Chains A and B, each alone.
Chain A
């Protein structure tokens, strides 16, 4: 245990309340959610602790102010600064917790990723390039593979008919996958488990005769999907398919979509495909006129400020499609991602660059965002989109 007891300054006698207010303010400045509620608890806590020794107060107030291991370093700084003893007294932590789901945010396990032919490769007529370890494996065509004719033609050459064919495939996939049966139940009339409680209630009305068995069945749950799509030049080939897919999901669920490059714009997710196409087209025109350079951080912060309160919640899955090449401020990106991650149920980051086996998230933006991403996946092919649907199902 650490802690040779030294004469520690601590809060000045009789001014504990003011001292706590100062500490709370410093913590807020570090980004901790410290409110009056915590301050009051801190005051009560100090009364229960032996203040001759900074460590009691340190551990005690830490349990009050900190609500996530990632906040501990900031708390350490503020607390010891306020307490007035040098930093060496801080119990050293060899390892701060990486991310909430640290182990999993490293992307899908390569050994579990099934080989599949990228839609884009098939469409563009390029054969799938041999990919490192997977060389020699025979690619299994996806169960939803579009007609062979599509494969040989380049993406740009797709005529309206082909696009529709692909859309139908995506629609079917979306419908099948966007819903999930909840473990919670709702009252039902014919099928499902017998609901004894309601049956009994109604039996009382019939002199104790159970005339009709009330039943319950599992509720169908629909996640809300918020799509944030990087539409800068480098991403265009991918975003087109993803947006279509997400909008197809939207027919069964609740989907909000945004496009960004240097600015953030909301995509009108009307139910009719034609309107979506038009909206996307208009948006692309608009984006082209925006000055170059993607500012992911600024755009995501803008999203959090304007739409976060309404769209982010326990039911929300946030899907971000971007290569993480940010020209802007990574601190802004980190702030925005932290906020999104805290409030959404799941954050999925699709980065088509992940498709190549030797890709490492080296871009500064990508690195800053990764700790706040639950699933990191490529999303570059039909197969990958099917995986995405599985991820979205909470």
Chain B
């Protein structure tokens, strides 16, 4: 394994993130090739975490842009500070300044409110720019982003062109609610994050919920792995596993009993149909089959 990749695995692990080799390789290449990293996967598999952990591991600032439909330049890039501009205009009037002078004054960088994207390219030291859930933004925004990601400069009509002072490390995440354009996909390195394998999930549990009773950790991982094989509307992600483990730990649970699982199932299943669909007998059967077969744990990314 490339030394740099091993270093990334270790640095991420030090932050409590269990990184597989595919994740570390993609992170490594994205840094070296200066390409944005597009991370896709089901909800709760730790896509957003990648950006956070990379920022923490390499001591970089994290700038986050949460996408939503209708996200526009004023929220993503910049906006003028209107109250200050109005105040300045009033003062200018009192001083008898001309319209031209006034215009030059109030459309200065000083009156500009920097939003995440502008912040990301104005920093002296390269930050991590996390563009979260890009699939929630619309095509107009995607097109705009594409331009920004290729040129790393933006043009503000009143001010001129702002060039990036440093090249931010860009991570985009997507849940696949909308198909992203080919142009955007091709601009990025691509990383698909799957649900973790049993072993990986166990390692994650150890890293994140270290006080979980030995034995219970395996039961938790096994049951979640088993549950993911069911036909569910919303399968539990790693985030749900961790929530559940913490809940069990708080309750002082020693072994997984059907009643306890049922009482805490809300940590894992977030859909009414899934909850109702899992009848007591069915739950018992699932639990029994999960705890029975320790050797052949259902595999995830790697077998």
Question: For residues 154 through 208 of chain B, which have their beta carbon under 8 Å from a beta carbon of chain A?
Answer: 176-179, 181-182, 185-186, 188-192, 194
Binds B, one of A48-56, A239-247, A322-330: A48-56
| Contact partner, B33, options A44, A93, A345, Cβ 8 Å | A44
**Would B29 and A63 count as touching, CB distance under 8 A?**
yes
**Would B190 and A63 count as touching, CB distance under 8 A?**
yes
Check B13 for interface membership: any CB of A closer than 8 A: no
**Would B138 and A184 count as touching, CB distance under 8 A?**
yes
Given A204-B89, A205-B99; A56-B303 close (CB under 8 Å): no
| Contact partner, A101, options B140, B176, B303, Cβ 8 Å | B176
- Shortest Cβ distance from residue A107 to the other chain B in the assembled complex, whole angstroms: 13
**Would A63 and B191 count as touching, CB distance under 8 A?**
yes
**Would B33 and A45 count as touching, CB distance under 8 A?**
yes
- Shortest Cβ distance from residue A383 to the other chain B in the assembled complex, whole angstroms: 22
Closest to B235 in A: A103
Given A204-B99, A208-B93; A55-B21 close (CB under 8 Å): yes
Check B233 for interface membership: any CB of A closer than 8 A: yes
Binds A, one of B78-86, B214-222, B236-244: B78-86
**Would B190 and A66 count as touching, CB distance under 8 A?**
yes
Check B35 for interface membership: any CB of A closer than 8 A: yes
**Would B176 and A100 count as touching, CB distance under 8 A?**
yes
Check B70 for interface membership: any CB of A closer than 8 A: yes
Check B298 for interface membership: any CB of A closer than 8 A: yes
- B1 contacts which chain A residues (CB < 8 A)? 3, 50, 53, 55-56
Check B108 for interface membership: any CB of A closer than 8 A: no
A383 to B302 CA separation, bound complex (whole angstroms): 47
| Contact partner, B25, options A56, A72, A111, A208, Cβ 8 Å | A56
- A203 contacts which chain B residues (CB < 8 A)? 86, 89
Check B273 for interface membership: any CB of A closer than 8 A: yes
Check A37 for interface membership: any CB of B closer than 8 A: yes
- B29 contacts which chain A residues (CB < 8 A)? 45, 48-49, 60, 63-64
- A109 contacts which chain B residues (CB < 8 A)? 273
Given A68-B185, A95-B194, A97-B192; A207-B299 close (CB under 8 Å): no
Check A38 for interface membership: any CB of B closer than 8 A: yes
Q: What 0/1 readout, one digit per residue, does chain B (21-37) give for beta carbons within 8 Å of chain A? A: 11001101110110101
Q: What 0/1 readout, one digit per residue, does chain A (199-215) give for beta carbons within 8 Å of chain B? A: 01001110110100000
**Would B69 and A94 count as touching, CB distance under 8 A?**
no
Check B92 for interface membership: any CB of A closer than 8 A: yes
Q: Count B interface residues, CB 8 Å.
A: 62
A42 to B217 CA separation, bound complex (whole angstroms): 41
**Would B33 and A314 count as touching, CB distance under 8 A?**
no
- A196 contacts which chain B residues (CB < 8 A)? 80, 82
Check B259 for interface membership: any CB of A closer than 8 A: no
**Would B33 and A48 count as touching, CB distance under 8 A?**
yes
- Shortest Cβ distance from residue B181 to the other chain A in the assembled complex, whole angstroms: 7
Check B114 for interface membership: any CB of A closer than 8 A: no
Check B139 for interface membership: any CB of A closer than 8 A: yes
Q: What 0/1 readout, one digit per residue, does chain A (227-238) give for beta carbons within 8 Å of chain B? A: 000000000000
Check A380 for interface membership: any CB of B closer than 8 A: no
Which of A67, A182, A183 has the most chain B CB atoms closer than 10 A to its own CB?
A67
Check B132 for interface membership: any CB of A closer than 8 A: no
A204 to B140 CA separation, bound complex (whole angstroms): 30
- A33 contacts which chain B residues (CB < 8 A)? 182, 186
- Shortest Cβ distance from residue A209 to the other chain B in the assembled complex, whole angstroms: 9
| Contact partner, A92, options B26, B28, B74, B299, Cβ 8 Å | B299
- B188 contacts which chain A residues (CB < 8 A)? 67
- B3 contacts which chain A residues (CB < 8 A)? 50
**Would A56 and B85 count as touching, CB distance under 8 A?**
no
**Would B21 and A1 count as touching, CB distance under 8 A?**
yes
A49 to B27 CA separation, bound complex (whole angstroms): 12
Check B102 for interface membership: any CB of A closer than 8 A: yes
Given A33-B182, A94-B298; A41-B28 close (CB under 8 Å): no
**Would A64 and B80 count as touching, CB distance under 8 A?**
no
- A200 contacts which chain B residues (CB < 8 A)? 80, 82, 85-86, 106
**Would B90 and A314 count as touching, CB distance under 8 A?**
no
Check B40 for interface membership: any CB of A closer than 8 A: yes
Question: For residues 36 through 84 of chain A, which have their beta carbon under 8 Å from a beta carbon of chain B?
Answer: 37-38, 41, 44-45, 48-50, 53, 55-56, 59-60, 62-64, 66-69, 72
Check B147 for interface membership: any CB of A closer than 8 A: no
**Would A67 and B179 count as touching, CB distance under 8 A?**
no
**Would B273 and A111 count as touching, CB distance under 8 A?**
yes
**Would A184 and B70 count as touching, CB distance under 8 A?**
yes
Q: List 19 A-B contacts (CB under 8 A).
A: A1-B21, A3-B21, A33-B186, A35-B186, A49-B5, A50-B5, A59-B22, A59-B25, A63-B25, A63-B37, A64-B29, A67-B185, A67-B186, A69-B192, A97-B194, A184-B138, A203-B89, A207-B93, A207-B99
B-contacting residues of A (Cβ < 8 Å)?
Answer: 1-3, 33, 35, 37-38, 41, 44-45, 48-50, 53, 55-56, 59-60, 62-64, 66-69, 72, 91-95, 97, 100-101, 103, 109, 111, 182-185, 196-197, 200, 203-205, 207-208, 210, 314, 341-342, 345
- Top 8 nearest A-B pairs by Cβ distance? A183-B70, A208-B89, A50-B2, A59-B25, A67-B185, A92-B303, A63-B189, A94-B299
Beyond A91-B302, A183-B138, 10 additional contacts (C-beta under 8 Å) are A3-B21, A59-B21, A68-B185, A72-B192, A91-B303, A92-B299, A93-B301, A109-B273, A182-B70, A196-B80
